[in-house]
Structure 1
Amino acid sequence: RIAALRDAVEVLALLAGLPPVAVLRPPPGGGGAATVTGPRGPSGSRVLDRVRALLAKAESTTFPAEAEAFTGKAQELIARHSLERALVESTAAHPDQPGGVRISTDAPYAGAKALLVQEVAAANRCESVWSDDLGFATVLGFPADLEAVELLHTSLLVQATAAMLRGRRERRGGGRRTKAYDEAFLHAFALRIGERLRAATDAADRQATQDAGADRLLPVLAARSGAVRERMDTLFPGVTRARLTVRDAEGWQSGTSAADRASLAGSAPPSRPLPGRR
């Protein structure tokens, strides 16, 4: 009996010390509607099929500029699809509501992986919060945007890892692995890819604004952005910011070139905050 009581106390102490986890949807049997729904209708499936095909081509090519072109086209399709969904949902009787997904950021290079999640999320009108103590990032947004983030992040992580391994082989000293080089490479890759994705989204926004009219589209986007931000403030009221440090200039330059070799010759690493969690 004494041993059982001791074990029970140890379990309770362990549970009490675990960090809190935001509830993204009601647990089974808890009642209420789930906050995340999948794409509705055949149009979404066709668009996502085309996106998957483009990303598969980006992953299979060994030419960075070609991978950039495929990934940029995929983001363009995603952005247009998101805008179409936003306009449709704005007049729906039961519109989509912001939800969330969790994306693993396990070691090694967890911070760099979280940065990639953040950049992809920002380009697709989502918010990202990294729970470094739990090993994942939570992405909040509308259903179609969340699915886009998951698709793009998975593909870009594959591309970044392959490019990093090629960069090791090409660097001075052969394929010797160093943590500082790898981290700097992945940080630079994530930031430059984020710039390219946002550029594709901005281009789609400008075209959609011309087609649908600013008076119709901009209020819808503003309302959706506010809803996502409100959801984030509700689930993560104690969000803080952490800074990632780049310690290898060669890794930074190689990662930047891998993300956009066709148009970028190199740059100094900026100081970029990464959302974290208290």
Structure 2
Amino acid sequence: MRQGALDFETAIDVLTGVPSAEVDTVLAAVMETEFDRLFQHGWQPAELHRAVARRGNPIQASLVADAALNFQKNRTPVDDRWRAQAESLPAFQGRRPDRIAVLDASLSLLAELRLLPAIEVLVPPPGTPLTTVPHHSDQRILDKVRALLAKAEATDFAAEAEAYSAKAQELITRYRIEMIDAPAVGVMPFARRIGVDHPYENEKASLLDAVARANSCRCVWSPELGFSTIFGFDTDIDAVELLYTSLLVQANRAMTRDEPAKGKARVKAFRRSFLVAYAYRIGERLRQTAERELAARDDLLPVLRNRDVQVREAMDKVFPTTVRSRTSRVDSLEGWESGRAAADEAKLR
């Protein structure tokens, strides 16, 4: 399909002139081959759906959702995490698209799928042996942290948000120390991919990196794929995911509250500068929090250094070569000052 000298528009015209039953059979088979390749080589349903949905075509996003459900049919065993992602993807909303729109979306999606590379398998795809990944986080602690962060996100009062966030960080840090004091046998660093959505992906990735480093994790951003890979011990990665999500919610609320009322260019510069300052200041405060909490436990320093070495080795195995991302420009002093102020409001003790 689309071989030879045919351009995209000509290919669409040719296909619309061929009986639909013939075209649909061949197109479905080709699409299935590409989806199978990606699902078998590391792509999880939510990740592939996010990467495609970023293109803004709901038809293409629904094709991914359907493909994920079909891929797990007649394949056993199916990892619970994989199944949960596949079943949670949203179905197509709105009127049924016409045939030309479906052909257009399918062919352009096929071209994009063929460009996507294989990535690290973190969750075994359906039909492959299940790997038992030990997870040692205490769900009760995580539920308490989630509840506190939800309260911090819901309140419009900075003092209340600070109090809830501080308590959440206190629980996380104490729990991390408990886990270091009583390590479980066979616990090793793991990896988890966290979506970084547009707009302002660079600035959001910087915030995620700041939270990761403060919690003894390492972060590698893949901008062309729409996610960052977090390396660390499972309890630390849980803390990173919870804190990053909550801080991003608080940042968005403060940013829309303080942004200028007029001027598209001015608002864009304000938001970018806001998020740069917010990420930088949050990183400072989280590092200070970690240093204070661990200052009285000099006996933990050798353990922490050893864990850091293991995390770095795990990251280097998957990403032997990385480059530093370019720092975003700060074009709005108003946005920079507002971002730092918002980070102070969201500070974690």
TM-score band, normalised by the shorter chain?
Answer: 0.7 to 0.9
Secondary structure of 2:247's counterpart equals helix
Instruction: Work out the CA distance in 1 between the residues paired with 2:346 and 2:188.
Output: 39
Work out whether 1:238 is the aligned partner of 2:324. no
Q: Which residue of 1 aligns with 2:141?
A: 47
Q: Which residue of 2 aligns with 1:268?
A: none
Instruction: Work out the CA distance in 2 between the residues paired with 1:224 and 1:51.
Output: 24
Q: Per-residue deviation at 1:65?
A: 4.2
8 Å contact from structure 1 (residues 65, 260) kept in 2 = no
Work out whether 1:248 is the aligned partner of 2:332. yes
Q: Given the superposition, is the C-alpha separation of residues 195 and 73 from structure 1 closer, same or farther in structure 2, using an over 3 Å criterion?
A: farther
Task: Report which stretch shifted further, 22-31 or 148-157.
Answer: 22-31
Secondary structure of 1:239's counterpart equals coil
Instruction: State the one-letter code of the partner of 2:318.
Output: L
Q: Given the superposition, is the C-alpha separation of residues 252 and 2 from structure 1 closer, same or farther in structure 2, using an over 3 Å criterion?
A: closer
Instruction: Work out the CA distance in 1 between the residues paired with 2:341 and 2:332.
Output: 14
Instruction: State the one-letter code of the partner of 2:214.
Output: A
TM-score normalised by L of structure 1: 0.77
Task: Report which stretch shifted further, 78-87 or 193-202.
Answer: 193-202
Instruction: Work out the CA distance in 1 between the residues paired with 2:294 and 2:270.
Output: 36
Q: Which residue of 1 aligns with 2:305?
A: 222
Task: Look at both structures and tell me which one has the larger radius of gyration over its CA atoms.
Answer: 2
2:280 paired residue among 180, 191, 195: 191
| Structure 1 residues 1-278: aligned runs within 5 Å | 17-31=115-129, 33-35=131-133, 37-40=134-137, 44-89=138-183, 92=184, 94-168=185-259, 171=260, 174=261, 176-177=263-264, 178-207=267-296, 209=297, 214-215=298-299, 217-244=300-327, 245-260=329-344
> Deviations 1:120-173 (Å, cap 9, x if unpaired)?
1111111111000001111111111111111111111111100101011xx4xx
Instruction: Work out the CA distance in 1 between the residues paired with 2:228 and 2:193.
Output: 6
Instruction: State the one-letter code of the partner of 1:158.
Output: V
What CA RMSD, in Å, does the superposition of the two structures yield over aligned residues?
3.0
8 Å contact from structure 2 (residues 161, 346) kept in 1 = no
Give unmatched runs, 5+ long, in structure 1.
264-278
Instruction: State the one-letter code of the partner of 2:144.
Output: R
8 Å contact from structure 2 (residues 161, 345) kept in 1 = no
8 Å contact from structure 2 (residues 250, 346) kept in 1 = no
Instruction: Work out the CA distance in 2 between the residues paired with 1:165 and 1:152.
Output: 20
8 Å contact from structure 1 (residues 25, 34) kept in 2 = no
Q: Per-residue deviation at 1:26?
A: 4.4
> Deviations 1:153-194 (Å, cap 9, x if unpaired)?
1111111100101011xx4xx365521111111121122122
Percent same amino acid among aligned pairs? 49
> Deviations 1:223-243 (Å, cap 9, x if unpaired)?
111111100000111210112
Instruction: Work out the CA distance in 1 between the residues paired with 2:200 and 2:241.
Output: 19
Q: Given the superposition, is the C-alpha separation of residues 131 and 228 from structure 1 closer, same or farther in structure 2, using an over 3 Å criterion?
A: same
Secondary structure of 1:246's counterpart equals coil
Instruction: Work out the CA distance in 2 between the residues paired with 1:19 and 1:151.
Output: 28
Instruction: State the one-letter code of the partner of 1:98.
Output: P
8 Å contact from structure 2 (residues 278, 342) kept in 1 = yes
Secondary structure of 2:174's counterpart equals helix
TM-score normalised by L of structure 2: 0.63
Instruction: State the one-letter code of the partner of 2:279.
Output: A
Q: Given the superposition, is the C-alpha separation of residues 13 and 175 from structure 1 closer, same or farther in structure 2, using an over 3 Å criterion?
A: closer
Instruction: Work out the CA distance in 2 between the residues paired with 1:31 and 1:100.
Output: 19
Q: Given the superposition, is the C-alpha separation of residues 199 and 15 from structure 1 closer, same or farther in structure 2, using an over 3 Å criterion?
A: same
Instruction: State the one-letter code of the partner of 2:152.
Output: A
Task: Report which stretch shifted further, 251-260 or 51-60.
Answer: 51-60
